[in-house]
Structure 1
Amino acid sequence: MTTRSASAKYEGFGKAGRGHVSLQSGVMKDQFYGFTTRFEDEAGTNPEELIAAAHASCFTMALSFALAQAGHSDGTLETTAKVKLEKDGDGFKVTRSDLSLDARVDGIDAAEFERIASEAKANCPISKLLNAEITLEHRLNA
């Protein structure tokens, strides 16, 4: 149906190496990443941050479409994803993505919202891609 791409270039190796990542759309071009942006606090991006952005946006869009399909037409959804990277043997593994949602959906009851949000969490393409625990905490504001 659709294929999207991104590219990464890394010059040097290990902690001294410096990488740059770009997106097909051009929205992000040659953005710096490396050891210090991943494991310390240097400005730049890192793979887990990009996964978090992808998961938050995918889930939020999936939920928006599911709510529209259920007949809801007004409200707002704001999602934060926290992706956890942990040691795994000699390497690392993304072990979880914790979604936190603030929602205002006019005319919905809590049980219907919970059902639709849980289905969106399970069925968004990025959730299906991740081999990690995925949690969802939400607040529905009337």
Structure 2
Amino acid sequence: MAQIKRHATAKWQGSGKDGSGSLTTPSGTLKDTPYGFKSRFETGTGTNPEELIAAAHAGCFSMAAAFQLSGAGHPPETLDCDADLTMEQIPGGWKIAAIHLTLKAKVPGLEDAKFQELAKGAKENCPVSKLLNADITLDAKLV
């Protein structure tokens, strides 16, 4: 079986609220990208883990949908996906409770019922969906 490994580095200095960190990936897409309390829990400059998870989920699901649609003989012209992540405070900390995926797809010649079936399969089989312990919902529309 094939295996793919990826790597990222986080550096943090200082306390949880007053400290700051940076994220770096070998691809260079993230290079000393700042993150901290304000960018995570308030409005501040930099990214945060939840934003990155939402982006990863939107990207993974879109690619999974493209494979599902293409495999069924309906390659998409365009797939536009939004991922809205909800993080909730629970006793003892925080939890990523839900992610809502909104997909707008242009797929000529595909009936909605088949599209819904394929989009649902992509949501269930996307590796990021499988990773998350959250309620994942999907609103998929042909445009």
Residue 54 (structure 1) aligned with residue 50 (structure 2) = no
Within the candidate set 25, 38, 41, 1:39 is matched to: 41
Within the candidate set 16, 19, 22, 2:18 is matched to: 16
Q: What secondary structure does 2:31 align onto?
A: coil
In structure 2, what is the equivalent of residue 70 of structure 1?
Answer: 72
In structure 1, what is the equivalent of residue 132 of structure 2?
Answer: 130
Give me the whole-angstrom Cα distance separating, in 2, the residues matched to 1:69 and 1:90: 44
Q: What secondary structure does 1:29 align onto?
A: coil
Give me the whole-angstrom Cα distance separating, in 2, the residues matched to 1:11 and 1:3: 27
Counterpart of 2:61 in structure 1: which amino acid?
F
Percent same amino acid at aligned positions? 50
Q: CA deviation at 1:74?
A: 4.2
User: CA 1:129/1:91 → structure 2, altered by over 3 Å: closer, same or farther?
Assistant: same
Within the candidate set 92, 101, 110, 1:108 is matched to: 110
User: CA 1:74/1:53 → structure 2, altered by over 3 Å: closer, same or farther?
Assistant: closer
Return 5+ residue gaps in structure 1 as ranges. Answer: none
Equivalenced residue count is 141
TM-score norm. by structure 2 comes to: 0.96
Give me the whole-angstrom Cα distance separating, in 2, the residues matched to 1:73 and 1:121: 17
In structure 2, what is the equivalent of residue 7 of structure 1?
Answer: 9
Q: CA deviation at 1:22?
A: 1.0
Q: Deviations over 1:43-77 (max 9, x none)?
A: 11000000000000000000001111001134110
Q: What secondary structure does 2:100 align onto?
A: strand
Spell out structure 1 runs of 4+ moving beyond 2 A: none
Give me the whole-angstrom Cα distance separating, in 2, the residues matched to 1:27 and 1:9: 16
In structure 2, what is the equivalent of residue 119 of structure 1?
Answer: 121
Return 5+ residue gaps in structure 2 as ranges. Answer: none
